[in-house]
Structure 1
Amino acid sequence: MKQALDKGQIEQFIQHGYVRLDNAFPRSLAEEGRNILWKDTGCNPDDPATWTQPVVRLGDYTQEPFDKAVNTPLLHAAFDQLVGAGRWLPRHSLGTFPVRFPSADDPGDAGWHVDASFPGADPADVFSARVNINSKGRALLMLFLFSDVAEREAPTRIRAGSHLDVARLLAPHGAAGLSFMGLADQLYITAGRQEVLATGEAGTVYLCHPFLAHAAQAHHGQAPRFMAQPPLLPAGEFRLNRSDAAYSPMEIAIRKGIGLGE
């Protein structure tokens, strides 16, 4: 199997819940993708007076630049290393794009949270969607930078190591797990974790453990920020007790959080 990540990067993923891949997809694809996205924002890239909202959410995109961006050999190799060969499903789109613009207004979505991965009682209610200890429905949280993102340009905030705390929160709730809001209400226990900013050049990808607590923030810079945040979907259920002990780093991190194994 081709190695995209070295031992240190895999250990960082287990301990801190994320790994950053520079040049994970070509900068040219990011530019092509931005050209498509700009048209759908309803804004003029050359006229900041048209940037009237702090955030514009765009839907799923399947065009060639997005399909190619998520299917580079480097990323596929990293998915195999973190999740396990044959344990993830290929993607051909990049999910939603929250495009953030420079603004003094509160974007209204900057709370700490963990992305839910399977529906609750009401599939139409995103706040009742759930997360469980086996991370049903999600193998990774991924952040694809389609523009250069500096510290003042609304990089996603990450609480390094918080995925271990979240595993402990989820463990008592078994397969049912917790709702998006039920888990968010308990994330105060991660407040002491080091905060990391998901900065980088266009073409950078952050591969994150699905339990990682993260948050948006207001944009105080100059250039709008274009980022996709798709999940990597699992091919089957993750298991925390394997007879062959063939645990992926994603599973090892959960086991570490709840005191199983090393």
Structure 2
Amino acid sequence: MSVEPTSALSAAEIASFIRDGFVRVNHAFSRETAEQARTLLWQATGCDPNDRSTWTRPVIRLNQFGQAPFREAANTPALHRAFDQLVGPGRWLPRATLGTFPIRFPSTEAPGDDGWHVDVSFGYDTPDFMEWRVNVSSRGRALLMLFLFSDVEQNDAPTRIRVGSHRDIARQLAPAGDAGLTLRELATDGFATSAHRPEALAVGEAGTVYLCHPFIVHAAQPHRGNNPRFLAQPPLLPREPISLDRHNGEYSPVELAILHATDNSDD
């Protein structure tokens, strides 16, 4: 699934997002912007891009970069148009920073953070992240986004995505209502309810962005390639709550995916 920088998502791509839980936007931001951002990220890692002996950890996590290249990457016309199409015009907040950057380096050491999961979105007042929560209306999160700031191939630790798994999570969350479930409750079975789903890899050139349903089950993996992987994984925050009961029937694709999953137990 791909789009040109100034084009809108096609009807087929939107239908695929509802069914599969993600859409890939090629050339969402420029390679030049990605290169400028990588320069800043390399500096923040404390590693030397030309000296592999300084790449001593499998993953380095950086947080909340808001310099010009990051703001530019997050706010291109192509992405704003896609946000309108998937979440609804006026229903999302522009990004000023780009969240967490898990920078992954080639390593034989296990990264220790490669389990299947969904990103929770509220209840952050408790220090135990396993007690953070998510509910069926995805309180606090409109999309999960994967911004590729380097070229990512199959061996470069691309994020693994369980295609269609957002439907399984929606069905798990529906009986819990507004209170939702904690990450611990969702992870009790190791996300076995989506284990039958096929996997997709978030590969692509620098400047590619994957726009994912907030319930998508995904996982990291070890880096077996040659070049470090630079990726941001911010949420798109809602300006207004996601609603599963719109009287005018103007549901967004994010909402329709939840409604279709909870109304019909068959894929």
TM-score above 0.5: yes
Residue 92 of structure 1: how far off its partner (Å): 1.1
Shift in CA distance, 3/251, structure 1 to aligned 2, threshold 3 Å: farther
Residue 238 of structure 1: how far off its partner (Å): 1.1
Whole-angstrom CA distance in 2 between matches of 1:248 and 1:240: 10
Deviations 1:206-228 (A, max 9, x none): 00000000000000000000000
Hey, what does 1:224 align to over in structure 2? Answer: 228
Helix, strand or coil at the partner of 1:175:
helix
Q: How does 1:91-110 map to 2 (within 5 A)?
A: 91-110=95-114
Helix, strand or coil at the partner of 2:82:
helix
Show structure 2 runs of 5+ residues with no match.
1-5
Residue 85 of structure 1: how far off its partner (Å): 0.2
Hey, what does 2:161 align to over in structure 1? Answer: 158
Helix, strand or coil at the partner of 1:109:
coil
Give TM-score, length-normalised by structure 1: 0.96
Q: What amino acid is aligned across from residue 100 of structure 1 in structure 2?
A: R
Conserved in 2, the CA contact under 8 Å of 1:4 and 1:75?
Answer: no
Whole-angstrom CA distance in 2 between matches of 1:57 and 1:224: 13
CA RMSD after TM alignment: 1.3
Hey, what does 1:209 align to over in structure 2? Answer: 213
Are positions 1:140 and 2:143 aligned together?
yes
Are positions 1:172 and 2:185 aligned together?
no
The percent of aligned pairs where both chains have the same amino acid is 58
Hey, what does 1:131 align to over in structure 2? Answer: 134
Are positions 1:252 and 2:256 aligned together?
yes
Deviations 1:6-59 (A, max 9, x none): 011101100000000000001100000000000111111001111000000001
Whole-angstrom CA distance in 1 between matches of 2:159 and 2:83: 21
Q: What amino acid is aligned across from residue 236 of structure 1 in structure 2?
A: E
Residue 182 of structure 1: how far off its partner (Å): 1.5
Conserved in 2, the CA contact under 8 Å of 1:99 and 1:227?
Answer: yes
Conserved in 2, the CA contact under 8 Å of 1:135 and 1:210?
Answer: yes
Are positions 1:65 and 2:69 aligned together?
yes
Residue 3 of structure 1: how far off its partner (Å): 5.5
Are positions 1:183 and 2:186 aligned together?
yes
Are positions 1:19 and 2:23 aligned together?
yes
Give TM-score, length-normalised by structure 2: 0.95
Greater Cα offset, 149-158 or 180-189? 180-189
Residue 4 of structure 1: how far off its partner (Å): 1.7
Report how many aligned residue pairs link the two structures. Answer: 259
Q: What amino acid is aligned across from residue 184 of structure 2 in structure 1?
A: M
